[in-house]
Amino acid sequence: MIVISSGAKYIDIDAYASGIAYAKLLNALGQQAIFASSATTNASVCTIIKNLGFKIVTGYKPKKEDKFILIDLSNPDFFDKIVNKNNIIEIVDHHTGFEKYWQNKNVENNIEFIGSVATVIYEKILNNNKLNILDTDLCKLLIAAILDNTLNLKSDITTKRDIDAYKALQKIGNLSKTFDKQYFECCQEQINFNVLNAIKNDIKIEHVSSLLPETFGQLTVYNIQPVLEKQKDIENYFNTLNQEWLLNVICIKYGKSYILSSDKQAQTKLSKLFNEKFCNNILVLQKFKLRKEIMKMARMKSELAD
């Protein structure tokens, strides 16, 4: 059995969609495969996505002979607990930084800085001549992942490949752009319902650079206002963790990132990283940046300083 999996704490729409689609592809190619996870889904896997009816395998008990494919993740410290690291056969990720770790291992290494892993999975389906597995619902699933991870195809990390995959999936699924709007509105509704829960399900704790706090939350919303109304609650929650922190709130409507942190040490680091100042515990970036972009930026600045 080939077991496709991702992170231990949560899975977002990119991991969710890519895992489901890749398992379908491998099965269509005659290889027995499942997408399994013991993690919870975050707000990007909203009701409109869950209502498509796709299922992931939960409570899976791995077997000795299982082979594993890891998607949307390449840092071995954060793999799902079901993964046998000695039986990994492939890594598919768009978070850079661990290329050297996998270089000399007998693992197919697909780590590249691209907008969405879902784009890579679409390309695998195309290159294996299995476009017939792409029904309307699977197209919606992959499109949602591309939209979320490229911020509606407007982020700096959006590539021509992401755009081409999006357009192809729209055509194959016979979809209108109204689905795009429906998806983002659905995510916003879920976040508005419980902002703190949405934040808790999208926090990474990882040492990347001396310029970044290790506790790094992220939310993508259409409208920033409901999040700002909960700013004090958000600060109180993060402060209970007793760690330096930041929350990157990406606002599609205004095309900006709002960096929230009430931790003074974190503010000093982030002001140096972005060359901007905090006001009322918020630093505003005039163009939105994804967490992976910020991590890459901090890593590069640290390397230059060394």
Query: Tell me, what's the pLDDT at 27?
Result: 98
Task: Name the least confident of 77-86, 94-103, 207-216, 287-296.
Answer: 94-103
Percent of the chain with pLDDT over 70: 99
pLDDT above 60 (res 51):
yes
From 86, 100, 153, 92, select the one nearest 124 (Cα to Cα): 92
Mean pLDDT, the chain, whole residue set: 93
Q: How confident is the model at residue 113 (pLDDT cuts 50, 70, 90)?
A: confident
Type of residue found at 103: Q
Query: Tell me, what's the pLDDT at 305?
Result: 64
SS3 state of residue 30: coil
Q: pLDDT by residue (tens digit) across 174-185?
A: 998 899 989 999
Q: What is the pTM of this model?
A: 0.86
Query: Tell me, what's the pLDDT at 201?
Result: 85
pLDDT above 90 (res 133):
yes
Type of residue found at 301: K
134: region left, alpha or beta (phi > 0 left; psi from -120 to 50 alpha): beta
Type of residue found at 151: L
Burial tier of 174 (Cβ tally within 10 Å: 0-12, 13-18, 19+): exposed
pLDDT above 80 (res 42):
yes
Distance CA 43, CA 94 (A): 20
Q: Residue with structure tokens 């895992």?
A: 19
